[in-house]
Chains A and B, each alone.
Chain A
Amino acid sequence: MIKRTLYFGNPAYLSTKDQQMVISFPEEEKEKVSIPIEDIGVTILDHYQVTISQALIHRLMENNVALITCDDRHLPTGLHLNLSGHTLQQERFTAQLQATEPTKKRLWQQVISSKIKNQAALLEAIYQDHEALLRWSKQVKSGDPDNLEARAAAVYWKKLFTAHTDDFKRGRFEDEPNNMLNYGYAILRAIAARSLVGSGLLPTFGIHHHNRYNAYCLADDIMEPYRPFVDELVLSIMDMEDIDIYDLSPELKKHLLQLPTIDVMLGKERRPLMVAMQHTTASLAECLLGNRDKLKLPERCKPIA
């Protein structure tokens, strides 16, 4: 089921009653809002005057909600997740930690092949040459020893924003639209981490990423094929008129936070991105347990005629 995303950018008191999240406001004329906790997937706290009760944090964790806190530049800094997201957790942790190198490499091959394919599909949709990427997506070997991922990225970033800027450089601290990309990826990562916990996996131990400072290596691995969807969302925002892309305003975030609802194809089925991610992480757990070989990975949707 697609869960709800709540974003708090104004002062609010958050508490709980009858398994509901109760939101009250400092202005007395504003009525209280109550939301079923089981319907929530992601909660973003982005104001210094948001007060949250411990009982509510506990209830959110119980329902496997990803609770995100933001810094004074409104970028996500922290992610609070459930410790026991799955009943067979111990068994799955063991399978994940004991996964052999060849298994991890084969999974990484599928992830990268799918990512390049989705990048190619996006380039095709914006009428850019995508032949090379499509070809490379079929040539990824186990563990991607030729680093086709980087080669594809070089071509991809060069072509993606040609209609909007002349000299786009992808990087964390580079110019716009990098700010939007970073924000979108942070949300994507939270969705991925939440799904991983829900599938009984540890987001910390990756199949490819292994930066000692990164607490979400597996989330970063599994979100790779989904990144082009963020890119497409950012592109569509840049195509809008009358929107200031230099400032991460609530207006801009509202568009970016639509991410979980975007339709993607999973095999022959159309699913919102957040639901597709749950299928992907569930299939990853099955692969690590040795019950299947192929991950369920997303593809770009063709428009409905």
Chain B
Amino acid sequence: MQTYRLNQYRVMWVMVFFDLPTDTKKDRRNAALFRKRLLKDGFRMFQFSIYLRHCPSRENAALHIKRVKKSLPPDGYVGIMIITDKQFGNMELFYGKKEKELPETPQQLSLF
């Protein structure tokens, strides 16, 4: 049986990178709000200001990008990028000199 529609070239990862000002109380509040909205939208922290979300299709990725754009803070530098699961899987990760495993790609079926 085939599952061509769900392959690693269609599954996408959305990455959000940001540098937000934290000089005033208002800035910190805006930064915290932006981060909270990312969490509510299903993004996970990858590094301190890099957040990731897994999306089962390009169309779905477009939706989440739209939501990030809607919740952009008034100031600060934000980058949004999408890559395929195939490209994501080729990333090399290290902790110190030790190689680390990549975050797991969520499967359509998860057994707990």
Question: CB within 8 Å of B: which residues of A?
Answer: 1-2, 4-10, 12, 18-20, 23, 33-36, 38-39, 232-233, 236, 250, 253-254, 257-258, 260-263, 270-272, 275, 301, 303-304
Contact = CB atoms under 8 A, between A and B. Distances in A.
Interface stretch (B18-26, B35-43, B70-78, B87-95): B35-43
Contact of B112 (A10, A253, A270, A271): A10
Contacts of B60: 1
Given A2-B56, A10-B112, A257-B109, A18 B39 contact: yes
Contacts of A254: 109, 111
Interface residues of B, number: 24
B108 interface: yes
Contacts of B57: 1-2
B56 A1 contact: yes
A4 to B, nearest CB: 6
A20 B39 CA distance: 8
Given A7-B112, A35-B106, A262 B42 contact: no
B2 A301 contact: yes
Interface of B: 1-6, 36, 39-42, 44, 53, 56-57, 59-60, 106-112
13 contacts: A4-B107, A5-B109, A6-B110, A6-B112, A7-B109, A36-B41, A254-B109, A258-B3, A261-B108, A262-B2, A263-B4, A263-B5, A271-B5
A35 B56 CA distance: 13
Contact of B109 (A4, A303, A304): A4
Contacts of A263: 1-5
Given A5-B109, A39-B106, A233-B1, 19 more contacts: A1-B56, A2-B5, A5-B110, A6-B112, A12-B112, A18-B40, A19-B42, A23-B112, A35-B106, A35-B110, A38-B42, A39-B42, A39-B56, A254-B109, A258-B1, A258-B3, A261-B108, A304-B2, A304-B4
Contact of A270 (B4, B39, B44): B4
A156 B110 CA distance: 33
Given A18-B40, A261-B6, A271-B5, A7 B106 contact: no
Contacts of A12: 112
A35 B36 CA distance: 15
